[in-house]
Amino acid sequence: MRDLSIFNKFNFERPPVGVKFLLNKPAGIKKLDKTLALCEMLPEAQKGEAFYATAEDFECVGPLILGMVEPPAIFESGQVGPELGLFKEARANRRVYPPIPKLEKGSVRYVVFSPLDKLTFDPDVLIFTAKSDQAEILLRAYAYTTGKMWQAKGTTVIECAWLFIYPFISGELDLTVTNFSAGMKARQVFPEGLVLLAIPYDLLPMIIENLQDMEWVLPDYVGGREAHNEKFQAVIEGLMKEYKAG
């Protein structure tokens, strides 16, 4: 199992949660004893215990995007959103469904959730609930050796698909801000203004290595405006001098 202990150094108020999608029943992990929406599984795991959930344990649309059940026609026809005041018409609502990431039908029967300190498996997706300055460090670690841009993908509804499924099947991280999504906001899943950042398994080694190598809090971030301007100008002048000398 990969060493993820470096993430403990962030001192997150709400621990990261590892998620695993399985066809067969996991051993040594208890079953969830209540029904929750997929987004609510995050704060449930953040209480401190690992658990798994099956189709019967999900409220809302979780089983649909996990490929556990067939979607009723009223969803993909766009009938629900206008009734909740989320879209003006069904034709606007139905546009969100074609791009929403889903797992293949029948490919997942169990989903495991675990807080970071209780992980006994390599997660398929590791989801962080972070303050903005913590999220900035994670995003900088993502770009530190690659220069890759980061992006936030989402929809007014079914944000859980982008947070859980999209990173897993695309290999790209995704992020959102709490209460951007209608379901999370209505269910009051998280306080306002936190960053939810999902990192797929194949990006974790690079991000961990970069976190070990880079400076987390740059001096340029703590000196203030004038100190930043002075240092920036000195760097430019130094590089220009080197350029002209060459």
Alpha-carbon gap, residue 107 to 22, rounded angstroms? 8
Percentage of residues of the chain with pLDDT beyond 70:
100
Q: Which of 4-13, 136-145, 152-161 has the lowest mean pLDDT?
A: 152-161
Number of residues in the chain: 246
Question: For 191-205, what is the mean pLDDT?
Answer: 97
Q: Tell how strand 174-177 and strand 125-130 pair up.
A: unpaired
Of the two residues 204 and 220, the one the predictor is more confident about is 204
Q: Which of 33, 70, 37, 6 is nearest to 163 (CA)?
A: 37
Confidence at 93, pLDDT banded by 50, 70, 90? very high
- Partners of 112 in the beta sheet? 20, 52
Write down the pLDDT at residue 70: 85
- Give the burial class of 17: count Cβ atoms within 10 A of its Cβ; 0-12 exposed, 13-18 middle, 19 or more buried: buried
Confidence at 87, pLDDT banded by 50, 70, 90? very high
Alpha-carbon gap, residue 17 to 199, rounded angstroms? 11
